Amino acid sequence: MRRIARTPVGAAVIGGLVVAILGWIAIAAGWIKSESNDNAAAALAPAPLPQPAAQRTNGKGLTVNQIYQQDSPGVAFVQAESAPRAPSPFNPFGGGGGGTATGSGFVIDQQGHILTNAHVVDGAQKIEVTLGNTDSSQPVSAQVVGKDPSTDVALLKVNAPASDLPPLQLGDSSRVQVGDPVVDMGNRIELDRTAAAGIVSAPQ
């Protein structure tokens, strides 16, 4: 035993046995309370990953299709027609031609208010909105209530039944974090009722 104790391996083994015996005595005497297997397993279990803001609100995430089915009725298609501009003495080629601008908007209340981009309706003489909750998908006339070109935001007003105006639920942008999933719905050029998914790539 003396020869074994003098070797590094033997000293380590004997030291471990001494610590184990002292620990068993301490537990038996009640000096140290032993943890149950469940508590020990909980202590070793990894911490849960933080959930995105969209999942934290209701405790359960939705698929892109579920989000589209739930919220697309509140997304509107905006079409604005502008008249040709008068000729300018500084433009030898005549005045500017009119045209049709298209974009997306969304319902914010059942009184007919729709939020869209200011550049879509800038200079428009006629604005029509196709609501996403109508079976016939017939456009309705809209008027500009106000717009702010500096933030590219415009507010429209349409006369439509409240049943055709399901407002989108607005979230809290201060809770958005990098990496949170996002879904984009709208009406892109030559494409109707589109959806795209991604993540938040940068903070505000």
Going by DSSP bridges, is the β-strand pair 99-107/113-116 parallel, antiparallel, or unpaired?
antiparallel
Fold classified for 53-84+96-199:
Thrombin, subunit H (2.40.10)
CA–CA distance, 125 with 143 (Å, rounded to integer): 9
Structure confidence at residue 104 (pLDDT):
93
**Three-state SS at 192:** coil
Q: What is the DSSP string of 109-171?
A: -TTSEEEE-HHHHTT-SEEEEE-TT-SS---EEEEEEEEETTTTEEEEEE---GGG--PPPP-
Highest average pLDDT, of 13-17, 171-175, 186-190, comes from: 171-175
Structure confidence at residue 83 (pLDDT):
79
Structure confidence at residue 50 (pLDDT):
43
- Give 173's DSSP letter: G
Structure confidence at residue 93 (pLDDT):
56
CATH 2.40.10.120 residue spans of the chain: 53-84+96-199
Nearest one of 114, 110, 140, 112 to 127, comparing CA atoms = 140
Q: Pick the residue with more confidence: 72 or 16?
A: 72
**Mean pLDDT along residues 130-144:** 82
Structure confidence at residue 46 (pLDDT):
40
